[in-house]
Structure 1
Amino acid sequence: MSSRVPFKPQQVDAPLTQSATFLVLSITDTADAIRTVRSTLASVGDLSKNVSIRDLSASFACTIGIGSDAWDRVTRLPRPAELHPFPEVKGNKHTAVSTPGDLLFHIRSERRDLCFEFEKQLLDTLGDSVKVVDETVGFRYFDVRDLLGFVDGTANPVGPGVPTSVLVAEEDTPVIGGSYIVIQKYVHDINSWRTLKAEQQESIIGRTKFDNMELDDAPLQQQQSHKSLATISDSNGNEHEILRDNMPFGSPGSGEFGTYFIGYSRRLWVIEKMLQRMFVGEPPGLHDRLLDFSTPLTGTTFFAPSASLLETLDDD
């Protein structure tokens, strides 16, 4: 990162918490909608302080993403170089659907009540300028496992590797310090998954279930595991990481079991290539077998501008 370009990033690398709310909104056609949205985004730091001050140990954070269709209207600033709507990815058997969304609020805290209170105050402030597209409440499950029983997020970058993998740098100076975000809401066929033996599940995931040990990659041109298909390298052999903050969600009473995928990346093409490999297959035709048990209901792309940029949105 260049020290000559002053910016303050959003808390895209906030620690994984016990609770999270994923709130996707669309902007309405009311007369003052854009003005209200701009004012709210510019002052969201104050709104966050109003909630987080109630328990400073609760690791409260909120990251804001702006969708491709809303970027020009909301920011009136140059577009991030790679920002475009989420492209549908259609394989022979499974499809990564594309769904609408103008604004994303990724709300996190160790306390569910703080997430609730922030969302309530946020929606009160936005009023009729927005409409809720999707609201999903996630929770940490045991030792950071998904509802399929495997540890999730092991491949995340750590330490100095986080900003390098997540934050846009000098390659796109107008939006330096920002991050691309892709979200997908997956529901799992738990009953079918449970019919598999542990060894079969491990072969699909690419890790052992009990102790999370990585399994060897399959030979080229053969069926690859989810772990292998989600590992992305460029033409020079350099591996590119993304930051996942996935959370389980669901309701046993209604038979809903799912994982909310959210990936932050410095380069949008990395996540899009990952999805191509999963849904189309690598080689083509050999899709990610996890998709036989997990179906995406949503797919939306956002860009999280720096906090410094957000603060300028209310300037006349």
Structure 2
Amino acid sequence: MTPQSAICAEGGDFALFLTLVLADGDVSPVRRVLAALPDLTAALAAQLDEPALASSVAIGAACWTRLTSRECPDGLAPFAPLAEGGRKAPATPADLFLHIHSPRADANLMLARRVMGALGPHVRVVEEVMGFRHLGKRDLTGFVDGTENPEGDERAGVALVKDGPFAGGSFVSLQRYVHDLPRWEALSLSDQEAAVGRTKEADEEMEVKPPSAHIARVVIEEDGEELEVLRHSMPYGTTSEHGLYFVAYCASPAPFRKMLERMVLSSGGGHHDRLLDFTRPVTGAAFFAPSAELLESLS
């Protein structure tokens, strides 16, 4: 089965993220638009001579059967919120997630407008965020983001369900984070590096990391293998609000969930992810992005 084009492709310099909820009533028009998304993307890519234009759409558990007339993929469930000690990972409404990326912000917007124009009153926009590449691949904190991301053929191995009726699809988890950059930038360089677990300039993992370092919290080994997700995260924002739009694709929802729990919840030693003292998630949603073939069968 063929994955939707945005999943395994390297992210472009710009991305557009849309979360939507379905309106009441007939969903047949929505099914037709979703089924047409791969062809719509390919047609616009040819028109603009922009072969890197890519898209994917993912469907939430609450409307999966309503839209697909199939049972949910095993593991697809609404995002479960977490909270401890003032740290929160909230769940927010979302039935659909539209992800577009390319080297061009204008191409992304053109495709999004065509999709949204076709969906019309059958959906309501919950949130629309435009992401951008910052200083190469650095987060607004100044640290390289996604150093451990799989590359090449490993991307499909991490992101895609390998067999069964949902082969070629991917579980999607998203969170939008808002950074408190003035507080972060008030830290010394050594304190910033201790919070991340990597050096800022050279992006080298520290040999000795505090147990609260981000890397120490999210790098998890099970049976000698490191848990992985395929990230498509990007910085976003304005002068008044900015941060990271986090998107993870994976063959199972479990790795992301385990990482998030180690970030938010304190372990036996009472540690949590130090980065959460300087950034906070304000959204949380979970979806499944079906294969291109399954998507096209909705028409």
Q: TM-score w.r.t. structure 1 length?
A: 0.91
CA contact (8 A) 1:58 1:111 kept: no
Structure 1: 5+ residue runs without aligned partners?
Answer: 1-6
**1:205-244 residue pairs with structure 2 within 5 A?**
205-218=196-209, 223-234=211-222, 236-244=223-231
**What is the deviation of 1:194?**
0.8
Which one of 282, 289, 293 corresponds to residue 304 of structure 1? 289
Question: Which secondary structure does the structure 1 equivalent of 2:47 belong to?
Answer: coil
1:303/1:217 Cα in 2 relative to 1: closer, same or farther (>3 Å)? Answer: farther
**1:73-112 residue pairs with structure 2 within 5 A?**
73-112=66-105
Which one of 63, 76, 82 corresponds to residue 70 of structure 1? 63
**What is the deviation of 1:92?**
2.1
* Counterpart code for 1:293: F
Aligned residue in 1 for 2:185: 194
**What is the deviation of 1:284?**
5.8
Which one of 17, 22, 27 corresponds to residue 27 of structure 1? 22
Structure 2: 5+ residue runs without aligned partners?
Answer: none
2:244 matches 1:259: yes
Aligned residue in 2 for 1:249: 236
Question: Which secondary structure does the structure 2 equivalent of 1:53 belong to?
Answer: helix
Per-residue CA deviations over 1:164-216 (Å, capped at 9, x if unaligned) read 2111123xx11111111100000000100011001110111111100101112
Report the number of matched residues: 298
Runs of 4+ in 1 over 2 A off after TM superposition: 54-58, 281-285
Aligned residue in 1 for 2:275: 290
Cα distance in 2 for partners of 1:14, 1:284 equals 39
Question: Which secondary structure does the structure 1 equivalent of 2:165 belong to?
Answer: helix
Q: TM-score w.r.t. structure 2 length?
A: 0.96
1:58/1:113 Cα in 2 relative to 1: closer, same or farther (>3 Å)? Answer: farther
Cα distance in 2 for partners of 1:282, 1:155 equals 23
Which one of 139, 143, 146 corresponds to residue 139 of structure 2? 146
CA contact (8 A) 2:211 2:217 kept: no
CA contact (8 A) 2:4 2:38 kept: no
CA contact (8 A) 1:217 1:224 kept: no
Question: Which secondary structure does the structure 2 equivalent of 1:98 belong to?
Answer: coil
Percent identical residues = 39
